């Protein structure tokens, strides 16, 4: 990727670090120390976030993405444009295995996003097969949804990981069957006039109110076993929720688009 000025500033930082005799800061850049999905990568410390709480009304200027009754603001995420086929229950939606990811009918760029989710109980499966779903900003950058309560998996694939890139700072998971929250601040990639990458995407995530991603810089879209490069996309794309074969539930989804 080409990022104007970044090499120069990184070089300056390296020189300063060498002079000062310190290591480069790890936060905000993907660790080269651990291969993707390494099971040896240290697991984040567990922090009890306390009990779940009932949702509160969204902010007055929020775009509500699930009204509690239907999936009219969503469609299937494939190219067919077909209706979303997840189950709608009283106040929440639930993944129906095999029906596919769902995408918002509207598109979004930079945003503040609130999502609540609940992993199935009793839990079934181990590791990546337990309570797996995902929140994909702009359809390409996954904040992992997973039952990570007493369920070891690779650190960069547990709940609130930026999948394949950044483990969460701590494991703030609640037990399955309890509602959990993600509060996300998203800044998408910026492009120059010729489609060159001006600046990469950045994300901050709170899991159950606890900071777990602190303005980290993404290497590109998230993927299984690889870190693909950025591709020139529109400034706004749909938000996507993942069908990973597990009946994960979502509720109280709202978004506040951020202006430049």
The residue ranges that bind Mg ion (CB under 5 A) are 132, 134, 242, 244
Shortest distance, CB of residue 223 to Mg ion, whole angstroms? 11
Shortest distance, CB of residue 128 to Mg ion, whole angstroms? 8
Shortest distance, CB of residue 244 to Mg ion, whole angstroms? 5
Residue 134 or 167: the one with the smaller Cβ distance to Mg ion is 134
Residue 85's alpha-carbon distances to 10, 121, 142, 242, 244, in angstroms, are 47, 22, 21, 12, 14
**CA nearest neighbour of 175 among 45, 49, 42, 44:** 49
Report how far residue 242's alpha carbon sits from residue 28's, in angstroms, rounded to the nearest whole number.
Answer: 25
Report how far residue 141's alpha carbon sits from residue 188's, in angstroms, rounded to the nearest whole number.
Answer: 10
Residue 90 or 225: the one with the smaller Cβ distance to Mg ion is 225
Shortest distance, CB of residue 222 to Mg ion, whole angstroms? 9
Residue 132 or 165: the one with the smaller Cβ distance to Mg ion is 132
Kindly report the CA angle at 189 between 6 and 117, in degrees rounded to 5? 125
Residue 129 or 183: the one with the smaller Cβ distance to Mg ion is 129
Shortest distance, CB of residue 190 to Mg ion, whole angstroms? 26
Residue 48 or 224: the one with the smaller Cβ distance to Mg ion is 224
Report how far residue 226's alpha carbon sits from residue 27's, in angstroms, rounded to the nearest whole number.
Answer: 20
End-to-end CA distance of the chain: 23
Q: Which residue is nearest to Mg ion (CB)?
A: 134
């Amino acid at each position: 990727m080409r990022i104007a000025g970044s090499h120069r500033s990184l070089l300056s930082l390296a020189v300063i670090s060498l002079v000062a005799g310190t290591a480069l800061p790890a936060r905000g850049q993907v660790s080269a120390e651990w291969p993707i999905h390494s099971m040896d990568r240290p697991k984040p410390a567990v922090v009890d976030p306390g009990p779940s709480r009932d949702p509160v009304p969204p902010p007055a200027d929020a775009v509500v993405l699930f009204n509690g009754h239907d999936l009219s603001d969503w469609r299937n995420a494939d190219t067919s444009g077909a209706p979303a086929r997840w189950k709608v229950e009283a106040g929440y939606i639930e993944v129906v295995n095999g029906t596919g990811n769902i995408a918002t009918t509207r598109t979004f760029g930079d945003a503040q996003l609130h999502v609540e989710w609940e992993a199935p109980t009793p839990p079934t499966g181990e590791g990546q097969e337990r309570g797996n779903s995902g929140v994909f900003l702009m359809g390409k950058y996954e904040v992992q949804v997973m039952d990570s309560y007493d369920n070891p998996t690779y650190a960069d694939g547990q709940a609130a990981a930026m999948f394949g890139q950044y483990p969460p700072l701590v494991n703030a998971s609640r037990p399955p069957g309890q509602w959990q929250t993600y509060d996300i601040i998203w800044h998408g990639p910026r492009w120059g006039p010729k489609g060159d990458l001006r600046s990469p995407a950045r994300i901050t995530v709170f899991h159950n109110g606890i900071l777990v991603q602190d303005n980290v810089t993404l290497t590109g879209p998230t993927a299984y076993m690889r870190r693909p490069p950025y591709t020139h996309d529109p400034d706004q794309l749909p938000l996507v929720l993942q069908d990973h074969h597990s009946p994960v539930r979502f509720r109280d989804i709202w978004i506040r688009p951020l202006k430049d």
